């Protein structure tokens, strides 16, 4: 999943190691696959990145298109998807245009938080609404600000992964929250042993009441909201808001 602010794209310049760090969320892949199966027709994933979720859905025999703003991520997605009937397109989710209409559109990887202004969010929802069939499904997840530690933090260990060359890469980072804009600024440091890299990312936090009002105003009815991929009902302090919506008008 590639974010839309210029600095956010720093996280997506190394797609092979991106997959090694972030792949393996099988519960999430299954969640979106089940949704796609429940809404027969073509599926669109916005901010698809390297196709971590797109490809499993394609392998299940569902016709799917993935759109992302990062050419590097898409190049690796196409390589991984060779032989599959999946289409990858470079584009911005705020301005994407297609003659196709889809039975389901989704974003994952908390990609909704990449849309950092009110207008960005409106433009995204306008794109989704325009490209859904009447009654089509729109699904996405976002971190819940009321269930997230938004305090400023100095460098903290976040974990590690094994890179494409077999190196153990230690991951750490800092966070700084701009409460006036509801935007978290993360700086991620990766220690490769022989080098140390730094990348920045910014994500907007939208509380559940604001989110639900936004969705309703732009033509979506919320059918379900969950706290996790096991479909635990969302509560005020859940760490995630997983929303499954339906387009309510033509």
Share of the chain above pLDDT 70, in %: 96
CATH number given to 7-144+206-247: 3.40.50.150
Its pTM surpasses 0.75: yes
Residue 56 has pLDDT above 60, yes or no: yes
Sign of CA dihedral 155, 161, 164, 168: positive
User: Could you report the per-residue pLDDT of 61-92, keeping only the tens digit for each?
Assistant: 999 999 999 999 999 999 999 999 899 999 99
- Across all residues in the chain, what is the average pLDDT? 94
As given in the structure block, the two tokens for residue 158 are 């976040």
pLDDT at 11: 73
Residue 168 has pLDDT above 80, yes or no: yes
pLDDT at 6: 43
Q: Are 87 and 62 in contact (CB under 8 A)?
A: no
pLDDT at 189: 97
Is residue 250 very low, low, confident or very high in pLDDT (cuts 50, 70, 90)? low
User: Could you report the per-residue pLDDT of 184-227, keeping only the tens digit for each?
Assistant: 999 999 999 999 999 999 999 999 999 999 999 999 999 999 99
Is residue 24 very low, low, confident or very high in pLDDT (cuts 50, 70, 90)? confident
Q: How many angstroms separate the CA atoms of 83 and 55, rounded?
A: 11
Beta bridge partners of 153: 175
Domain map of the chain by residue range?
Answer: 7-144+206-247, 147-204
pLDDT at 4: 42
pLDDT at 20: 92
> Mean of the pLDDT values across residues 137-163?
97
> Mean of the pLDDT values across residues 135-149?
97
Residue 3 has pLDDT above 60, yes or no: no
pLDDT at 5: 43
> Mean of the pLDDT values across residues 131-144?
97
């Amino acid at each position: 999943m590639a974010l839309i602010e210029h600095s956010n794209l720093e996280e997506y310049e190394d797609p092979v190691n991106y997959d090694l760090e972030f792949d393996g969320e099988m519960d999430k892949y299954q969640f979106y696959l089940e949704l796609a199966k429940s809404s027969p027709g073509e599926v669109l994933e916005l901010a698809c990145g390297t196709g971590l979720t797109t490809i499993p859905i394609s392998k299940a025999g569902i016709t799917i298109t993935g759109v992302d703003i990062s050419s590097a991520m898409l190049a690796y997605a196409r390589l991984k998807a060779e032989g599959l009937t999946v289409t990858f397109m470079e584009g911005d989710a705020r301005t994407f245009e297609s003659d196709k209409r889809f039975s389901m559109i989704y974003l994952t990887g908390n990609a909704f938080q990449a849309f950092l202004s009110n207008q960005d969010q409106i433009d995204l929802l306008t794109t989704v609404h325009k490209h859904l069939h009447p009654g089509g499904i729109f699904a996405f997840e976002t971190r819940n600000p009321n269930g997230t530690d938004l305090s400023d933090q100095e460098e903290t260990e976040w974990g590690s992964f094994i890179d494409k060359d077999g190196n153990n890469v230690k991951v750490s980072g800092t966070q700084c929250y701009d409460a006036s804009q509801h935007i978290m600024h993360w700086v991620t440091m990766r220690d490769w042993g022989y080098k140390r890299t730094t990348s920045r990312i910014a994500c907007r936090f939208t509380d559940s009441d604001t989110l639900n009002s936004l969705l309703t105003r732009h033509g979506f009815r919320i059918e379900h909201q969950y706290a996790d991929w096991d479909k635990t009902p969302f509560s005020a302090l859940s760490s995630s808001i997983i929303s499954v919506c339906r387009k309510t008008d033509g």
